[in-house]
């Protein structure tokens, strides 16, 4: 039994040393929530979490992104650029009265997106043979009652939007 524990300990230390030397670089792309309705008296809030890097790497990177609310016609309603330190979150809110001027009994369909900066702002990949960890912002969209702050809807599932692909002309 002690040989088994010794073997597991050696394997864990080797994995930890490789993980500690891992380069970290952000990925580019956009994720979107599903559509959800917002009505008068409600606020939508998009939260972006940088979960950081687990030990033993213990150092994370600040993840930058653009948080946006988009309506069902594709119009950007509100947007903000954020820098999120490891282990923290940033958010953007969309108020039905202040930002949308919704009237009583009026609804607007919205979705939330998180966009990681384009490739031109991403550092080149490391030349080492160790794997590269990606900077990821984990998003949740919530709709809450503006008056009392009670959450009414929370969406956590996001979908990666495909990037345009250039095809050669014939």
CATH architecture, domain 25-161: Sandwich (2.60)
Pairing mode, if any, of strands 107-116 and 36-39?
antiparallel
CB of 140 within 8 A of CB of 156?
yes
As a whole number of angstroms, the distance between CA 132 and CA 7 comes to 26
User: What are the extents of the domains in the chain?
Assistant: 25-161
CB of 38 within 8 A of CB of 101?
no
Nearest CA to 163 among 15, 71, 4, 27?
Answer: 27
CB of 94 within 8 A of CB of 75?
no
As a whole number of angstroms, the distance between CA 92 and CA 97 comes to 15
Threshold 0.85, pTM exceeds = no
Question: Residue 27: which H helix or E strand, with range?
Answer: none
Q: pLDDT tens-digit profile of 17-63? A: 333 333 333 456 888 999 999 999 999 999 999 987 655 555 678 88
Q: pLDDT tens-digit profile of 73-84? A: 999 999 999 999
The span from the first CA to the last CA of the chain, in angstroms, equals: 66
């Amino acid at each position: 039994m002690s040989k088994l524990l010794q073997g597991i300990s050696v394997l864990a230390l080797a994995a930890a040393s490789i993980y500690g030397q891992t380069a970290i670089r952000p990925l580019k792309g956009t994720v979107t929530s599903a559509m959800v309705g917002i009505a008068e008296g409600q606020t939508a809030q998009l939260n972006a979490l940088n979960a950081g890097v687990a030990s033993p790497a213990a150092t994370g990177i600040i993840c930058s992104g653009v948080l946006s609310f988009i309506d069902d016609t594709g119009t950007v309603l509100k947007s903000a650029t954020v820098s999120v330190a490891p282990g923290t979150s940033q958010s953007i809110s969309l108020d039905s009265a202040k930002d949308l001027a919704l009237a009583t009994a009026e609804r607007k369909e919205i979705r939330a997106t998180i966009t990681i900066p384009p490739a031109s702002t991403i550092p080149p990949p490391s030349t080492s043979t160790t794997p590269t960890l990606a900077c990821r912002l984990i998003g949740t969209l919530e709709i809450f009652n503006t008056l009392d702050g009670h959450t009414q809807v929370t969406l956590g599932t996001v979908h990666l939007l495909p990037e345009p692909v250039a095809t050669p002309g014939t």
